[in-house]
Amino acid sequence: MIADERNCLRAGAAEQAGLELRIGWVCAEPDRQERFGEVVALDSQGRPSFQLLQNSESAASPIFFYAFDLLHRDGRDLTSLPLAERREELAALLANPPAPIRLSALLTGATDHILEAVQQFGLEGVVGKRADSRYEPGERSGAWIKLRTNRQQEFVIGGYTPGSRGFDSLIIGVYEKRRLHYAAKLRNGFVPRTRDAIFPALKKLHTSACPFANLPEEKRARWGEALTAEKMKECRWIKPHLVCQVAFVEWTDGNKLRHCTFVAMRDDKVASQVVRET
């Protein structure tokens, strides 16, 4: 929890997926502010790092709360105001904020130019909001969108977990020093037609031996469920000849993928030449 010198911040409900927190700032009645923002840990280049935030108890990384919306101020309900006016109220409130609190900056310009700059800086993406939009409690309306600048590369398929239409997820990895290393269980991005096309190729390559040199995992994984010896019993292994294209947010410190999505099969790539690119 972040607190200023007067201990007037308290954290409410948190959403694990985006680490977006609803914050009630209670100072002295009747003063009361309520705002939306995000808790972030910054790396050595000043970029938000989800991994550093997860390890914040053991790593000396600067942590801040970036505020990007204000819903109530001094007893006034601001939810009926357009976002542009709520942002003006927020900027006035944070004219001289305590050290861990910052105002999230607005980016103006053409969408493609902004995304290009965000990608060059190695950031995960941006959130776009209509300046005239009102706050809608509990709704995810078309007034805002999230745009990610995902990375992509090829991965080798070394197995799968059974499921509807043949498989639930693909088990993928890359070669390192001529040994295949597990990187992720790939579940997202498949449609029924894609599953129907891929599964026959998987069945032709069945083998009893796990092709991944770094399995099993020995403990609970920080990013998703660990592929332990017990969990490996649910897997079906194949000879590592198939290659697929995968989009993902980043590599973790443990050399696993975060938020990965299937893009396409790559029959133009030789599996033994697939290595980590970034």
Domain boundaries, the chain: 9-106, 151-273
Instruction: Quote the strand ranges of the chain, DSSP E.
Output: 9-15, 20-26, 32-41, 63-73, 76-77, 101-103, 125-129, 144-148, 151-163, 166-176, 179-186, 206-207, 236-248, 250-251, 257-258, 261-265
Minimal CA–CA distance to 254: which of 231, 230, 220? 220
Here the contacts of 7-16 (C-beta below 8 Å, separation 24 or greater) are: 9/65
Distance in angstroms (rounded) separating the CA atoms of residues 67 and 90 = 8
pLDDT tens-digit readout, 142-187: 788 888 777 889 999 999 999 989 999 999 999 999 999 999 999 9
Q: Identify the pLDDT of residue 141.
A: 73
User: Shortest CA distance to 234 belongs to which of 169, 164, 155?
Assistant: 169
Asked which of 25-29, 145-149, 248-252 is least confident by mean pLDDT, the reply is 25-29
CA dist 4 and 93 (Å) reads: 15
The pLDDT, as a whole number, for residue 205 is 98
Whether this prediction's pTM lies above 0.75 is answered by no
Query: Do 255 and 278 touch, CB atoms closer than 8 A?
Result: no
| Per-residue confidence (pLDDT) for residue 273, from 0 to 100 | 95
Helix (H) or strand (E) holding 82, with range, is none
pLDDT(124) > 90: no
Tell me the pLDDT tens digit for each residue of 30-68: 344 554 888 888 888 888 877 777 665 545 678 899 999
**110: how many CB neighbours lie within 10 A of its CB?**
8
Domain 151-273: top CATH class: mainly beta
Mean pLDDT of the chain: 82
β-strands 179-186, 166-176: how paired?
Answer: antiparallel
Residue 99: predicted pLDDT? 80
**pLDDT at residue 206 in the model:** 98
Regarding beta strands 32-41 and 250-251, do their DSSP bridges make them parallel or antiparallel, or are they unpaired?
unpaired
The alpha carbons of the chain give a radius of gyration, in whole angstroms, of 23
**Which CATH superfamily hosts domain 9-106?**
DNA ligase/mRNA capping enzyme (3.30.470.30)
Q: Higher confidence at residue 24 or residue 2? A: 24
Q: What percent of the chain has pLDDT over 90?
A: 47
170: nearest Cα among 246, 58, 111:
246
Mean pLDDT of 241-247: 96
Mean pLDDT along residues 201-229: 88
Q: What is the pLDDT of residue 7?
A: 31
